[in-house]
Structure formats: C-alpha cells, structure tokens
Amino acid sequence: MTNKDFFAALADLEHERGIGQEIFIEALSNALASAYKKQMFGETGNVEVRLNPEKCTIRFFLQRTIVDDEVEELGDGQIYLKDALLIKKSAKVGDVLAEEFVPKDFSRIAAQTAKQVILQKIHETERDNTLSEFSDREGELMSGLIRKVDMRNVYIELGKGQIEGLMLPQDQVAGERYETGNRIKVYVKRVKSGARNAQVLVSRAAPGLVKRLFEEEVPEIKAGTVVIKSVSREPGQRTKMAITSTDARIDAVGACVGNKGARVNSVVAELGGEKIDIILWSENPLEFIAKSLSPATVVSVTQLGEKSAVAVVPDDKLSLAIGRNGQNARLAARLTGWKIDVKSESAAAKLNLEGAEEPTEE
C-alpha cells in the first residue's frame, strides 16, 4: 500500500528535529508488526513490516516456518509443507515462508501506532542528543535564561534554548533572587539520564562556579600561567581561592585582582557581593595554612599530626582569624585540606607550644 503523506511527514520530522528517517522507520516497523500480529494472528505468526521511503510503500508479511506434514501439532509461527506448497511451489521443510497480506483497519491502527512511536522516538532521541551534547560540558560555566521558578526548583533554558537546566534547592544561594526572564550564569554539575528524559543539573552554589568565573575574567588563567589550586566557599557569604603562578614574572594575585580591582570586582558582582579572599598557594603546607587564615595575621603554625596543625595569632586577632561563627577558620581548613586549630598567643603560651614554624613571605 502507498502512503505518500505518511513518508512526507517523516521527511518533515527529519528536517525539523534533525532525526533521521531510518530511526523512525525501524521503530515503526517493529511497532506495526507487533500491533498487527496481536490483532490478526495472535501468537501463531511472526509479522514483518517493510517500509520503503523511496517508493512510499508499506508492505506486511506473515512469516512462518515450514514443517513436515507428519508433525502432529503446529507450533507458533509454523505451517505445514502441504499448505506452504499452495502458496509457494518451491517451498521445503525448514524454510521461512513470507506471505504478504493486507491488514484490516490499517488507517486507524497505523495512525495510533505511528503517533505513539514517533513521540517516543523524538523524546528518546532528544534525550540522547542532550546527553551527547552536554556529557562533556560537566564542570563548565554556561549562561541561561530563567524560564520557570516553582516552590523548590529553578528551570533554566541553556544553550540555544533546546536544553533545560535544573537547579535544585541545594544548588541555590540564599538571598539570591531568581526571576523568570532574567539571564543567569550557572555551573554545570552533572548530566544524568532519567527514565523519561535527560537532566542537566546546574548550580550557583558550587565552588566550581567561582573558579570558572575567574577563568572567564583572567586571561592568565586561560593561558595557564596562573593556576587555581583550590577553592572553598560558603555560597553568598565568602570564598577563599588559592592560586599560584607558573611564571615567576607574573604576579598571580595581581592578575586575579586586576587594575583597580576590576577583575575580582566583576566576579564579586556576579556573585551578588560575596566576599572573596585570594590567597597565594605554597608548597609548604604550614605556610599555606598561615596564608589561608587571611585577613588575620598569623604568628606561627605548628604541625600536631598528619594533616593537623595549630595556628597561633595575636590575641587581638583571634576573632578575625576564626571569623563569624567560625567561618574564616572553616574555609581555611577546606582550602588547605588540613584540620586547623586557631589559638591566641596567650593561650598558646600556656600550652607551651614548641616547634612553631614562622610564616615567611614569598
């Protein structure tokens, strides 16, 4: 049977969605075969559907295996040799006989089946395309348009508008306002495949967002002459970022700060005023710890055990070193990967701490 409109519709889908006709044709062949097998033959035959887009034809075949006439009872999808010979003179036992037939009620069943298969294939293909396109974009910075905000989640249109990013509550920053229609920069955390679609999970709270924003602002980071070693962050409040230079002629901190603070201020503005401490990384872990407690002045740092140290600060700088609710010390510990105990000079004297290493300037 011929159906030019049907194949024309497939061609339009290929053009609009970028999904090849062969994908739909294979799926439709299987789906139509299954539908007509159940309708016309139950479990006693195997239906094959052959779609030819060049000739715009759809042909149906009942396939049955030829068995000897002596077989007492036919199995599913079998036909006696004597009956097969009436259809095909050269038939012999063991052959598969393909008998063409015209299905009943073709238009209604075909239309229903085609609609279901096409919608499913479009969904599956777009999901696979999303995974393919975004699987290598994890950890990147992207700009998007806020399309929807509900009680918990924020939905963001990414790229060319064909992909939706999902920002869960834990990836949102307290105090930030997410309003429909606003453009926003987000960090791509993960791309995962769900049962029904692909999800691109994005974040405004991830430390990686700060790192990518600085890469965008600082050419030296893109060039690799300034390297971000680690970032610790309490979103919306404060970030500490450790950097180093691979070229002794380049001031890593100065490169990140920029002329009159232009570069760091641009990042701060994007983060809604979040404070950022830029710290020079050191191979010496005790020296790095001392720097990480900036803006407090550190008198000495003593290692107590594996990845554990005590930092001594002037009595009048103790609260600054610890920070409000312990934030400064907590961020320093995350930045360095060390457990840091901060003590005042007077408290350290009572404990008679020895072997302290004086922080030095690079």
Structural domain ending residue among the three candidates 281, 300, 330: 281
Q: Are residues 72 and 116 in the same domain?
A: yes
Q: Are residues 353 and 234 in the same domain?
A: no
Site of tokens 């036919």: 74
CATH number, residue 169: 2.40.50.140
- Mean pLDDT, residues 163-180: 92
Q: Are residues 14 and 99 in the same domain?
A: yes
What digits encode the pLDDT tens for the residues 308-339?
Answer: 999 999 999 999 999 999 999 999 999 999 99
Structural domain ending residue among the three candidates 201, 220, 251: 201
Q: Are residues 86 and 173 in the same domain?
A: no
In angstroms, rounded to a whole number, what is the distance separating the alpha carbons of residues 96 and 112? Answer: 30
Quote the Cα angle for 170-173-175, to 5°. Answer: 135
pLDDT for the residue numbered 323: 94
Least confident of 95-104, 171-180, 219-228, 340-349: 95-104
pLDDT for the residue numbered 353: 59
Q: Are residues 296 and 319 in the same domain?
A: yes
Q: How many domains does the chain have?
A: 4
Q: Are residues 129 and 149 in the same domain?
A: no
Query: Following DSSP, what letter does each residue of 201-259 receive, concatenated?
Result: EEESSSHHHHHHHHHHH-HHHHHTSEEEEEEEEETTTEEEEEEEESSTTS-HHHHHH-G
Q: Are residues 15 and 99 in the same domain?
A: yes
pTM for this model (two decimals): 0.66
What digits encode the pLDDT tens for the residues 105-141?
Answer: 666 666 677 677 777 777 777 667 666 767 778 889 9
Q: Are residues 169 and 197 in the same domain?
A: yes
Q: Are residues 109 and 170 in the same domain?
A: no
Q: Is the pLDDT of residue 197 over 70?
A: no
Q: Say if CB 262 and CB 225 are below 8 A apart.
A: no
Q: Are residues 9 and 118 in the same domain?
A: yes
pLDDT for the residue numbered 305: 87
Structural domain ending residue among the three candidates 281, 313, 329: 281
Provide CB contacts within 8 A for 330, sequence distance 6+.
Answer: 234, 323
CATH number, residue 341: 3.30.300.20
In angstroms, rounded to a whole number, what is the distance separating the alpha carbons of residues 71 and 82? Answer: 12
What residue numbers bound the domain in which 218 lies? 206-281
pLDDT for the residue numbered 237: 96
Q: Are residues 300 and 276 in the same domain?
A: no
294 DSSP β-pair partners: none
Exposure of 343 by Cβ count < 10 A (0-12 exposed, 13-18 middle, 19+ buried)?
buried
Categorize the per-residue pLDDT at 213 as very low, low, confident or very high, splitting at 50, 70 and 90: very high
